[in-house]
């Protein structure tokens, strides 16, 4: 999944360099949402700050 996020971001950056601003920002948005959902999926451990 993280590989797909990187791949989408790589394509977004290439689209930006090629001048396709809308495509690039759209791919950024999709990658960002996927990254947030993937972080939520991995936030399984509880944080122990009480001693």
Partner 1 sequence: MGPLIRLGNAAGAAGVAMILMVAFGLQFGLKEPPCPLCNLQRAAFVLCGFGFVLNLRFGIQPLHYGLVLLGALFGVATSGYQTLLHVAPGAAAYGAPFLGLHLYTWSLILFLAVIAAVAVLMILSGPPEHDRSDHQAALRFRGAYRLAAYLLIAATLANAANSFLLCGPVECPDNPTSYWISKHLPS
Instruction: Dig out the tokens for 8 from the structure.
Output: 């989408």
Per CB under 8 A, does 30 bind partner 1? no
Q: Is 21 exposed, middle or buried (0-12, 13-18, 19+ CB in 10 A)?
A: exposed
Per CB under 8 A, does 49 bind partner 1? yes
Site for partner 1 in 4-23 (CB under 8 A): 4-7, 9-10, 12-14, 16-17, 19, 21
At residue 21's C-alpha, the angle toward residues 28 and 18, to 5°, is 105
Catalog residues that contact partner 1 under the rule CB under 8 A.
Answer: 1-7, 9-10, 12-14, 16-17, 19, 21, 24-25, 28, 31-32, 35-36, 38-39, 42-43, 45, 47-49, 51
């Amino acid at each position: 999944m993280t590989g797909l996020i990187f791949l989408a971001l790589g394509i977004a950056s290439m689209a930006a360099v090629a001048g396709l601003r809308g495509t690039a920002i759209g791919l950024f948005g999709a990658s960002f949402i996927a990254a947030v959902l993937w972080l939520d999926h991995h936030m399984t451990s509880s944080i122990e700050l009480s001693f």
